[in-house]
Amino acid sequence: MRGFLASSIGVTCAAALALPLAPPAAAADPSAAPPTSGRTARSEAYVPGGTQSLPLAPLTRDRAPGAAEQGVPRRDVRHFSMVGLVWDNPATELHGHVQVRTRATATGAWSGWQQLETHNADHAADPGTPESTSGRVRGATAPLWVGESDGVEVRVRAESVPDATSPATRATGATTAAPAAASPLPTGMRLELIDPGEGVPPAAAPGPEEGPRTTGMTTESVAASAVNADLAPLGATEIPALSRAQTQAGLGTQQQAKPYVGPRPGITTRRGWGANEKLREKKFVYTKKVKAAFVHHSATGNNYSCKQAPSVIRSIYRYHVNSMGWRDLGYNFLVDKCGKIYEGRAGGVAKSVLGAHTLGFNSNSMGIAVIGTYSSKKPSAAAVKAIARLTAWKLGLHGMNPRGKTYLKSGGGNLYRKGKNVRLNVISGHRDGFVTSCPGNKLYGKLGSTRSTAAKYQGR
């Protein structure tokens, strides 16, 4: 959408694009729990790792589509830990405020009202790509991590906007003097309640004389692991860190001609954070190379522990795929507040995997999301260091200087017309390619030092 110019809440990092034929949560997630009804939801069987999808209804006497105030009254539901709001048409902006409060399962206490970031379409597949035109994609807010909960209430209130047809507006051109009317809310709004599940148990480690074990791994899990086979054994939960000398020694003949490659950081694989590989599309999609890295924040809030980070990632993954209709998790990598790096979209951490993180600039780039919201809160030093280490290695594989500039061709839908060559920092913030507050002022302010640190890791 058009950023904080269109809303008092502002644009954040996290997802949407193209019109669905059926609600993705029902169509794409075989483990998704059906919408609850009445006040007896907690008595129904609890299925971990599912999505409850609740339709919003008008909260006033106005029953027309797009009514200015809609929501879900306080109710009992099955367990969930992340909440988001989706609607039918991803091209429709939500001009309004979304507030949610939840009941913690551990204490039975209700939280205060929390805001969901409403503008989210700046994270998306590029216009005209198969992912964006699949017919399954929906409009969406950023998701919010709330911790394990079993009760929810949500209210959505449309913003009042000046009436452009009023005599006062036409005569003076002023927007403040014109009568205000509530902007219609998007049609088909549904509250998505996501339970991350327990993850996927890792395969047992092989003995000293055994090959890699794949017992308990699905065909999809084997495929997602095999693309990292040059870096770690099949079924590995972690790709080990290497020194710069070890990294250089492990490069192929052509890669060794590029001397400025930073040491490979440790990376938790998709198996390590418990990805259910049956949710995503099977095939992997690649771009030509990685010329730039876009830094994001997930806008899911900061109320998580590092131990919970895999659960947060599983929830974002489920929200991107089942609720929003994407082919896989949108980001190429994620970083938690303790500085741990996680593999995002499947296809291989050393490869040029096409993501859905920066609308119009997904080709020849990668997206890194720091888990949390960093508009007013400073990111941890560990997270900032992790970005520098990751970019020094991955950009170095493609001969890119973290302190340098590069050109990316716009795919459209952003600040630039489709086909325009745009000069950007090799390490850019999301807002450098779109009118958005992402990755938050506090994280964006760290990118200058991140570029210098990453270049030092490369030996420049």
Percent of the chain with pLDDT over 70: 78
pLDDT of 166 reads 45
Report the half-sphere exposure of 376 (CA within 13 A, side-chain side): 1
User: Rg of the chain over CA atoms, in angstroms?
Assistant: 22
Phi, psi of 323 (to 5 degrees): -90, -40
Q: Is the pLDDT of residue 320 over 60?
A: yes
pLDDT of 34 reads 40
Say how many C-beta atoms besides its own lie within 10 A of residue 425's C-beta: 18
Distance (Å, rounded) from C-alpha 410 to C-alpha 309? 33
Strands 333-335 and 365-370, how do they pair?
A: parallel
Distance (Å, rounded) from C-alpha 295 to C-alpha 163? 37
Distance (Å, rounded) from C-alpha 135 to C-alpha 126? 14
Angle value at C-alpha 38, between 36 and 39, nearest 5 degrees? 100
Asked if the bond preceding 201 is cis, omega within 30° of 0, the reply is no
Residues 6+ apart with CB under 8 A from 414: 122, 358, 359, 360, 361, 433, 434
pLDDT of 252 reads 73
pLDDT of 124 reads 81
Q: Is the pLDDT of residue 70 over 60?
A: yes
Q: Which is more confident, 120 or 13?
A: 120
Q: Which is more confident, 238 or 127?
A: 238
pLDDT of 255 reads 64
Please list the residues that pair with 236 across neighbouring strands. Answer: none
Identify the band that residue 436 occupies on the pLDDT scale cut at 50, 70 and 90.
Answer: confident
- The 8-class DSSP code of residue 319 comes to I
Distance (Å, rounded) from C-alpha 411 to C-alpha 409? 6
Say how many C-beta atoms besides its own lie within 10 A of residue 86's C-beta: 30
Phi, psi of 72 (to 5 degrees): -125, 115
DSSP, collapsed to helix, strand or coil, labels residue 154 as strand
**Which segments within 324-446 are labelled E, that is strand?**
333-335, 341-343, 365-370, 405-409, 421-425, 427-429
What's the CATH code, domain 230-457? 3.40.80.10
Report the half-sphere exposure of 350 (CA within 13 A, side-chain side): 23
Please list the residues that pair with 140 across neighbouring strands. Answer: 86
pLDDT of 209 reads 52
Report the pLDDT averaged over residues 420-438. 90
42, 67, 72, 120, 191 from 15: Cα distances, Å? 30, 24, 23, 5, 15
Q: Is the pLDDT of residue 107 over 60?
A: yes
Identify the band that residue 40 occupies on the pLDDT scale cut at 50, 70 and 90.
Answer: very low
64, 176, 317, 441 from 118: Cα distances, Å? 22, 23, 19, 18
The first and second tokens of residue 179, run together, are 């009568």
Percent of the chain with pLDDT over 90: 66
Identify the band that residue 17 occupies on the pLDDT scale cut at 50, 70 and 90.
Answer: very low
Q: Is the pLDDT of residue 266 over 90?
A: yes
Angle value at C-alpha 173, between 168 and 176, nearest 5 degrees? 65
The first and second tokens of residue 106, run together, are 């551990």
Phi, psi of 65 (to 5 degrees): -55, 135
Report the pLDDT averaged over residues 332-341. 98
Domain with CATH 3.40.80.10 in the chain: 230-457
Least confident of 96-100, 172-176, 445-449: 172-176
Say how many C-beta atoms besides its own lie within 10 A of residue 417's C-beta: 11
- Predicted TM-score (pTM) of the model is 0.85
Q: Is the pLDDT of residue 446 over 50?
A: yes
pLDDT of 216 reads 75
Average pLDDT, the chain: 84
Cβ atoms of 452 and 319 closer than 8 Å: no
